[in-house]
Structure 1
Amino acid sequence: MSLSIANLTRRFDQTEVLRGIDLDIRQGELVALLGPSGSGKTTLLRIIAGLDWPDAGSLTVGGQDWLRKTAQERRTGFVFQHYALFPHMKVRDNIAFGLTVLPRRDRPSSPEIAEKVRELLHFLQIDTLADRYPTELSGGQRQRVALGRALAISPQLLLLDEPFGALDAQVRRDLRRWLRGVHEASQTTTIFVTHDQEEAFELADRVVVMGAGRIEQIGHPDEIYDHPASDFVARFVGLTVELPVTMRQGRAEAPGLDLAALPRRAMADGPATLFLRPSDIAVQPDPAGPFHVTDVASTGALLRITLQGPGDCRLEAEVPRRTLDRLELGQTVSLRPEAGRLFPGQQSPRTAAAPTPISAFKEQRL
């Protein structure tokens, strides 16, 4: 099912949690809602599921007004971070549960339910777990069962709220690849919430970056990584080095910085801020360079170099250890950014857009 959201707003007391959300999702698409805690992504997911209602705006799915439908009428599959499996039921009964509680007119027969469960057990590669209880399963296995229960009702939308948040790093990586395969096979329109950039970029067809109740950017993962639309997105996707520069005729300039690798930008002359990733900075020993080395740490493959520059500018660069001769503390260097993103004005991390503090409100969860 395709989904369309227009000017959706939600307020908890005096706090605006969603501030005019506009979003269209195509049939069969897998979309990630990515953002820090308090950005509104879980509230948006709950409204789509029918577990919360907006103060204003519209939500249509397949051309139908879903704000007139109850959660049960929407027939969404919801997968939670902590599985929410019934501990007293075996795996096969957990998967079958959604089918057994459908209204009588929609409920399949017992043989049909058993066949659907068998198909899902095989599809999700958990055939051997059918007669186990949730307490006998690993975290990754429980999450597969939770997904099976969500898929059993043939949902119009599949919604996942931090589905891998409770799992260790290796299991998360394995399940991400597995979930992408499940999605491609089922072609169910899927929306999932995460604060993990790697997870969103690996899984999603498109990523919706949210901050402080607004959508900051929508796009393909590569587009967001290479071309963040705002300083908020730039910081969130890892452009953590910020350097003041001056724009002249579309080119950025700054003492001690070789900015020739950056493309010309259609920006007015004047102050600007260059956002970089530590790995995008080439460090060049230079007796006349305005930066000096204050710390060098090796991770084996990389050198993490801390640098101090003019105007109390402090930054960190990462370079492959074998590509740079040994650096001494206090050594002067110049810097060559290989890639970066320019925004008008000399911005400060303290004054840039930031998510609402989590203490101001809590996104409601089940």
Structure 2
Amino acid sequence: MSITISGLTKRFGQTEVLRGIELGVDRGELVALLGPSGSGKTTLLKIIAGLEWPDAGRLSVEGEDWLQLAAQDRRIGFVFQHYALFPHMRVRDNIGFGLSVRPRAARPGKAAIAAKVDELLHFLQIAHLANRYPTQLSGGQRQRVALGRALAIEPRVLLLDEPFGALDAAIRRDLRRWLRGVHDATGSTTIFVTHDQEEAFELADRVVVMGAGRIEQIGHADAIHDHPASPFVARFMGATVELPVTLHAGRAEGAGLDLSALPRRALPDGAANLFVRPQDITPIPDAAAPWRIASRSSTGAHLRLVVRAPDGAEAEADLPRRAVNAEALDPGAPVRLRIEAGTIFPAERRAALPVVTPISLKLESSR
């Protein structure tokens, strides 16, 4: 089912949680809403599900106005982070629950429900767990049951809110690949929320990066990683080193910086900020350079360096230990910084303070 969202806003008290969201999701697409806590991604998911209502805007699915439909009429499959399984029901009954509580006129017969549950148990590779209770399952098994319950109603749209957030890293990786396979096999339109970049980029057809209630960028992994659309996206994607530079004819310049690897930018001359990841900084020993190694640590495979400029500015560099001459990078050694990749934005201008015109008061003497 194709989804169109336009001008969607939502407020909780004085807090603006969604600020004019514009988003289209194609039929059969798997889209990730990626962002830090408080960015509005879960609120957006709940509005699509009918669990929250916007203050303004439109939400349509296949041309139908979903803001006129109650949650139960949207036929949404929703998978929560903490499973929300019924502890007193066996796996089989949890999966069939959504079918068994339909209005009598739309409710399948017991045999049809049992057949659908059996189909999903085998599809999700949990048939051997059919008669167990949720407390007898691992976290990964519970998440499969939760997904089975969502799929049982043959949802028009499948929504997942941090579906693997409660699982350890190894299980998350396995379930990500498995979920992608489930999505491809069912052809459902799927939207899932995550704050995990690796998860979003591995799973999704497109990633929607959200921050402070706005959509900051929409795209594929490489485009967002290499060409962040805003300083917010650059920082969120790991460009944690920010260096002041000067732009001249599209080229960036900075004291002690080798920026020759950066392409020319179609930006105006003047002050700018360079956003770069520690992995894209290579310190080069140079007796005439202004930067100095402030500290050095090793993880075995990587060297972590902190370099400092004369004005006190610091930057971190992370480089393979065997790829460099570590002895030349002792604390105190002078280095220039070769920037392998980075993103440049014009310096953010601060709003000018209003000019206050003094008011002259002429007092008349009393008579």
Q: Same fold (TM over 0.5)?
A: yes
Offset, 1:324 = 0.9
Show CA shifts across 1:277-333 (max 9, x none). Answer: 100111111111111111111111110111101432101001110111122110010
- Bigger radius of gyration among the two: 2
Counting only pairs closer than 5 Å after superposition, residues 23-102 of structure 1 correspond to structure 2 as: 23-102=23-102
Is the contact made by 1:157 and 1:190 (CA closer than 8 Å) also made in structure 2?
yes
Whether 1:220 and 2:228 are equivalent positions in the alignment is no
Counting only pairs closer than 5 Å after superposition, residues 182-331 of structure 1 correspond to structure 2 as: 182-326=182-326, 327-331=329-333
Is the contact made by 1:294 and 1:330 (CA closer than 8 Å) also made in structure 2?
yes
Is the contact made by 1:205 and 1:221 (CA closer than 8 Å) also made in structure 2?
no
5+ long unaligned stretches in structure 1: 349-366
d(CA) in 2 for partners of 1:296, 1:16: 43
d(CA) in 1 for partners of 2:312, 2:31: 41
**How high is the sequence identity, in percent, across the aligned residues?**
70
Is the contact made by 1:244 and 1:346 (CA closer than 8 Å) also made in structure 2?
no
d(CA) in 2 for partners of 1:10, 1:294: 47
Q: Secondary structure at the residue paired with 1:312?
A: coil
d(CA) in 2 for partners of 1:21, 1:312: 41
d(CA) in 2 for partners of 1:2, 1:338: 40
Which residue in the other structure is 2:365 paired with?
none
Report the AA paired with residue 261 of structure 2: A
1:336 to 332, 335, 338: 338
Question: Moved runs in structure 1, 4+ residues, more than 6 A?
Answer: none
d(CA) in 2 for partners of 1:59, 1:68: 9
Which residue in the other structure is 1:364 paired with?
none
Offset, 1:347 = 8.0
Which residue in the other structure is 2:143 paired with?
143
Is the contact made by 1:257 and 1:336 (CA closer than 8 Å) also made in structure 2?
yes
Q: Secondary structure at the residue paired with 2:31?
A: strand
Whether 1:178 and 2:193 are equivalent positions in the alignment is no
d(CA) in 2 for partners of 1:73, 1:190: 18
Q: Secondary structure at the residue paired with 1:255?
A: coil
Counting only pairs closer than 5 Å after superposition, residues 342-361 of structure 1 correspond to structure 2 as: 342-345=344-347
Which residue in the other structure is 1:363 paired with?
none
Q: Which has the higher contact order (CA 8 A, sep 6+)?
A: 1
Is the contact made by 1:35 and 1:41 (CA closer than 8 Å) also made in structure 2?
yes
d(CA) in 2 for partners of 1:276, 1:138: 40
Q: Secondary structure at the residue paired with 1:42?
A: helix
Which residue in the other structure is 1:356 paired with?
none
Is the contact made by 1:240 and 1:276 (CA closer than 8 Å) also made in structure 2?
yes
Q: Secondary structure at the residue paired with 1:238?
A: coil
Offset, 1:32 = 0.6
Report the AA paired with residue 151 of structure 1: L
Show CA shifts across 1:220-264 (max 9, x none). Answer: 121111110000000001111110000000000011111010000
Q: Secondary structure at the residue paired with 1:193?
A: strand
